[in-house]
Structure 1
């Protein structure tokens, strides 16, 4: 038996069952779900950082979307916030690295 204690995607129970294996799951309450989403976010970020694989990046975005919805926002609302912020402050296409700011007058 392998113990995971981690948040998994919704279809994982059926996928495991289709292989003839048996797994135990529980449904999280809202507070534990929030905690496990945060934990999953860091897990997926680490996996993407190690592998630099587009599939890992997709997993990371899926967790971000779950966090957005858990906080009571729609993906559309989130995208509108992202777009407004990009319009105001720009994106990252110019590859700018801020080296220093002289605060002297």
Structure 2
């Protein structure tokens, strides 16, 4: 493991203890936390992209967990984030129509 560690879910130290080991942990300050969340988002997106169809839903849930943590760090609750998403979808649409843009004439 990286000597500087990595951001893990809150219950991971407890789970490690339950499995008979003693985790070495520390708490990130605010700036490091935001940076580590951004790193974690990239990690989770990469895992989602590499997942097969059976694993994809669980990996996507991990992405969403990190997105919610990033939103909270920015002062947004899940409802506020959803309102922003819905407003953008109302203004510009979503992705359900599968539209592929190939340029302008």
- Compute the TM-score of the two structures, normalised by the length of structure 2: 0.91
In structure 1, what is the equivalent of residue 100 of structure 2?
97
C-alpha separation between the residues in 2 aligned to 1:3 and 1:87? 43
In structure 2, what is the equivalent of residue 29 of structure 1?
29
The structural deviation recorded for 1:74 is 1.2
| Matching of residue 75 in structure 1 with residue 74 in structure 2 | no
In structure 2, what is the equivalent of residue 61 of structure 1?
64
In structure 2, what is the equivalent of residue 7 of structure 1?
7
The runs of at least 4 aligned residues of structure 1 exceeding 4 Å deviation read: none
C-alpha separation between the residues in 2 aligned to 1:82 and 1:3? 35
In structure 2, what is the equivalent of residue 40 of structure 1?
40
Equivalent residues, number:
101
In structure 2, what is the equivalent of residue 20 of structure 1?
20
Secondary structure of the structure 2 residue equivalent to 1:26 = coil
Structure (1 or 2) with the larger CA radius of gyration: 1
The structural deviation recorded for 1:30 is 0.3
C-alpha separation between the residues in 2 aligned to 1:62 and 1:35? 16
Residue ranges of structure 1 left out of the alignment (5+ in a row): none
Secondary structure of the structure 2 residue equivalent to 1:42 = helix
- Compute the TM-score of the two structures, normalised by the length of structure 1: 0.91
CA RMSD after TM alignment: 1.2
